[in-house]
Amino acid sequence: EVQLLESGGGLVQPGGSLRLSCAASGFTFSSYAMSWVRQAPGKGLEWVSAISGSGGSTYFADSAKGRFTISRDNSKNTLYLQMNSLRADDTAVYYCAKGLAVAGTVIGGDYWGQGTLVTVSS
Amino acid sequence: QSVLTQPPSASGTPGQRVTISCSGSSSNIGSNPVNWYQQLPGTAPKLLIHNNNQRPSGVPDRFSGSKSGTSASLAISGLQSEDEADYYCAAWDGSLNGVFGGGTKLTVL
């Protein structure tokens, strides 16, 4: 059974940093791209970032470029999102999702985690 | 303002057929496959359609997707009360970004 479990969310002050993790199980992690998608309270889905199965290709939304870093540790079956210089408009539930193929050009996928809430506020 | 344009709301009665549109451009829908997601209240999104018209296993055949040019559509036939949810289209964009539609809230009357 495929499972994705996000962690690392919480309350952070503007300008602060957080690292989100997504622990994956039930599939060959390195064979699939992964992505992060967020949803601000009461708003729609927003793609944040994606990474290929090998980790060699990464992609970022304009809102995340220069502030967020996506990475993966295929030996630990874990996906990460390092978020720096956080702003109030980064407040959202962050979901990790398993892509349908190894290529990194993915927006969500066939399995999603339950999400982790990031709140940026002073 | 989302890159992909969806109607904010749609509605239908049980048993009806409802379609939700998604309009994009040549750099996204026009040149890349479209996915559709269903999000029930308080839950994570669920993949309904991938690669324009492919249903993952477990998704009822009441759900179907199509694409023509720079637009895509999701059709739901035999509407049921449990179909009441938010629906999102998504596609890769040539600017190396993933893009979602703004979402359509489906109400079953």
- Does any CB of chain B come closer than 8 Å to the CB of residue A119? no
> What's the half-sphere exposure (Cβ side, CA atoms, 13 Å) at A2?
15
pLDDT in tens, chain B (109 residues): 789 999 999 999 999 999 999 999 999 999 999 999 999 999 999 999 999 999 999 999 999 999 999 999 999 999 999 999 999 999 999 888 999 999 999 999 9
What pLDDT does residue A105 have?
Answer: 79
Q: With a cut of 70, list the residues of chain A below it in pLDDT.
A: none
Residues 24-63 of A with CB under 8 A from B: 35, 37, 44-47, 50, 59, 61-62
- In angstroms, the CA A11 to CA B44 distance is 21
How close are the terminal C-alpha atoms of chain A, in Å?
Answer: 40
What pLDDT does residue B36 have?
Answer: 97
Closest Cβ–Cβ partner in A105, A109, A113 for B92? A105
Q: Which residue of A has its CA nearest to B103?
A: A44
Burial classification of residue A71, based on how many CB atoms lie within 10 Å of its CB (0-12 exposed, 13-18 middle, 19 or more buried): middle
What pLDDT does residue B109 have?
Answer: 93
Do residue A95 and residue B45 have CB atoms under 8 angstroms apart? yes
Closest Cβ–Cβ partner in A47, A106, A112 for B100? A47
Least Cα separation, residue B35 to chain A (angstroms): 8
What pLDDT does residue B95 have?
Answer: 85
Q: Which residue of A has its CA nearest to B102?
A: A44
- Does any CB of chain A come closer than 8 Å to the CB of residue B35? yes
Pairs across A and B, CB distance < 8 A: 63
Q: Coil, helix or strand for A76?
A: coil
B16 residue type, one letter: Q
- pLDDT, tens only, A86-95: 999 999 999 9
What are the distances in angstroms from CA A35 to CA A55, A111, B70, B89? Answer: 11, 11, 24, 16
Q: Which residue of B has its CA nearest to A107?
A: B98
- In angstroms, the CA A55 to CA A104 distance is 8
- In angstroms, the CA A66 to CA B98 distance is 17
